[in-house]
Amino acid sequence: MSKCILVVNSFKTESTDMASQISSFLEERGWTVGIFSYDGQEALKNGVEAVFEGMDLAVSLGGDGTVLFVSRGCAPLGIPVFAVNLGEFGFLASIQKNGWRKPLEEYLDGKLPCLSRFMVTCSVMREGREVFSCCGLNDMTVSSEAASRLINLDVSYSGSNLGPFKANGIIVATATGSTAYSAAAGGPIMSPGLKALVLTPISSFSLSARPLVFSADGTLSVRVLPSRAKIGLMADGQINFELKENDTVILGIPNYRVKLLGGSLDKFYSALQSKLNWSGGPRA
């Protein structure tokens, strides 16, 4: 018997009713359905985990933040994500809330398109041992906990030193995450299927510091140098880990990808045109 988990964003008022509808829809077709209530604020403060093992499908009911949470749990297990957009942007959650039934029927019939998106992984090494690891769909950020404080980071790519970075921090984003925090910090927007990472400085002390795009053939290494500010690592803006002086963060692209159902390049670029207000005319 096929199993599905519905991850319901508790902040979205319509998500509970929609979860009931989708649950009934799947159960009528012989599926076993479980529901997990996701509170983004609670997750940021205390961390929450859903059990995705053994599932054949995950349905995300919320915005792109909910998709990020679900993707981190599903990607390593190869579980596809059916993401219904109840948020604002919809770069990741491309299935509209009033039109979920037809694409879900297409998925059950094996006809729904699926986009694979590359992830980013991090491993924090401290005194020769790993003290933290996780994956992300959008990005990994190493930054000062105080927004106005500069920190010092030594960055290298596959052993080639890129020099010290003096900035509020750096963002290492996937192609998917290039439309998020990295773009807000001045980074380039990459096609979502590109297997690459972009390093974007945050408020760099040097005016010559520019975003850098790296292939997946190597790994990025970020060593924490002495600074006066507290420094943290954040995955997808949702998972926090406090870094210490001389910690080294190793970042790369894993072998697994997240499978996002119902997405397409046309939907991605249409979202860019709409959300970024690309009009192409004199008011652009």
> Of 64, 139, 236, 247, which residue is the catalytic one?
64
Identify whether the C-beta of residue 63 lies closer than 8 Å to the C-beta of residue 85: yes
- Report the Cα–Cα distance between both ends of the chain, in Å, rounded: 52
Contacts 24+ apart (CB under 8 A), 146-153: 146/229, 146/230, 149/227, 149/228, 149/229, 150/205, 150/227, 150/229, 151/224, 151/225, 151/227, 151/229, 151/231, 152/224, 152/225, 152/226, 152/227, 153/222, 153/223, 153/224, 153/225
64 labelled catalytic: yes
Annotated catalytic sites, by residue? Answer: 64
